[in-house]
Amino acid sequence: PCEVTASLMDEEYEIFYVMPRGNHTVTEFILLGFTTDPVMQLVLFVAFLIMYVLTVAGNTTLMVLICNDARLHTPMYFFIGNLSFLDLWLSCVYIPKILAICISDDKSISFAGCLAQFFFSAGLDYTECYLLAAMAYDRYVAISKPLLYSQAMSIKLCAFLAAASYLGGFNNSAVLTKKTFSFDFCKDNVIDDFFCDLLPLVKLACGRTEGYQALMYFLLSSNVITPIALILASYLFIIATILRIRSTQGRLKALSTCASHLTVVALFYGTAIFMYMRPQSKSSRAGGKVIAVFYTVVTPMLNPLIYSLRNQDVKGALKRLFSQWYH
């Protein structure tokens, strides 16, 4: 995914790269990043490079384990593998450009590069919303119908849920990207952030935005509110099922199977809500960038750790993989 994203972000399609915008032509945007202090830029470069290496290593390892070990060929790990793929791809959308901004005096990003970054980031985020909802349904089936779990969560159903997540996420991203980049960016081309995000781009746009606001409400309801409602409904049924379990040990075991997913959901939606629902004042910009780092960089790095640190199946698969390499 890194090579595909980098290729598409660098390719300068004529239709997008140089396009009349109002009274002048916008061919690039300027990303202000975090700071202009050279020492701090170097510190940030090292920090982001370490996080990038950990993200790529963690998610790649988890995908290799799931593909290599037959004991992990279950619906739950199928969805976890897809989540790792999304996180790996998402890190490739953001971090290479962040690293370039930290060590280079050139803070620009081409119009086509900004469009591609916007499209892929929105598509991957929307896809993850749907995928987390599918994972919540998987946990509901596993706890409420353990004896019929393999039949209820068949390969065809898992593949359908995953494909629908990707299709829905990127279709909605295409609609949002087309609408956003059809605006005249006649105010300025300076983005006070480290990536091409929705809110900074809208601030630079000119013209009427009533139709755009209606589109945003539709995308918010279909890509965020609906998956959250499905996740909450799944866990209400899970809680009802757990309460019917008589033994305390049985209840704890059922809850433990949901702990990792709940943690990932809380991280993903918690940081997203803080990022996009906070007041858009000048004093909040620095804090907003910190939240954005957690949302775009830290969360994809933590997800594989969350699913592996307390997971005996993953630890066992890792030991078996090492034993294959050294014997």
What is residue 206's three-state secondary structure?
strand
Check residue 155 and give its pLDDT: 93
Distance CA 78, CA 150 (A): 13
Triad 163, 277, 122: Cα angle to 5° = 30
Q: Residue with structure tokens 């070990």?
A: 69
Contact (Cβ atoms closer than 8 angstroms) between residue 152 and residue 76 = no
Check residue 10 and give its pLDDT: 46
Contact (Cβ atoms closer than 8 angstroms) between residue 165 and residue 130 = yes
* Mean model confidence pLDDT for the chain: 83
pLDDT tens digits, residue range 123-140? 999 999 999 999 999 999
The pLDDT-based confidence of 32 (bands split at 50, 70, 90) is confident
- Residues above pLDDT 70, as percent of the chain: 86
The stretch 65-86 carries a mean pLDDT of 92
The pLDDT-based confidence of 252 (bands split at 50, 70, 90) is confident
Distance CA 74, CA 126 (A): 24
Distance CA 177, CA 118 (A): 7
213 Cβ neighbours under 8 A, 6+ residues apart: none
Contact (Cβ atoms closer than 8 angstroms) between residue 55 and residue 91 = yes
What is residue 259's three-state secondary structure?
helix
Residue 149: pLDDT above 70? yes
Distance CA 59, CA 258 (A): 20
Cα–Cα distances (Å) from 187 to 26, 96, 202, in that order, read 11, 28, 10
The stretch 30-47 carries a mean pLDDT of 87
pLDDT tens digits, residue range 269-327? 888 877 766 655 554 566 678 888 888 899 999 999 898 876 788 888 888 877 777 66
pLDDT tens digits, residue range 160-185? 999 999 999 999 999 999 988 888 87
Q: Transcribe 82-140 into DSSP letters.
A: HHHHHHHHHHHHHHHHHHHHHH-S--EEEHHHHHHHHHHHHHHHHHHHHHHHHHHHHHH
H helices present in the chain, as ranges? 2-10, 14-17, 38-68, 75-103, 111-144, 149-152, 155-180, 198-204, 210-220, 226-243, 248-277, 285-293, 299-306, 312-326
Q: Please report the domains of the chain, with CATH numbers, ordered by start residue.
A: 2-326 (1.20.1070.10)
pLDDT tens digits, residue range 199-234? 888 888 776 666 777 787 788 778 888 999 999 999
Contact (Cβ atoms closer than 8 angstroms) between residue 129 and residue 168 = no
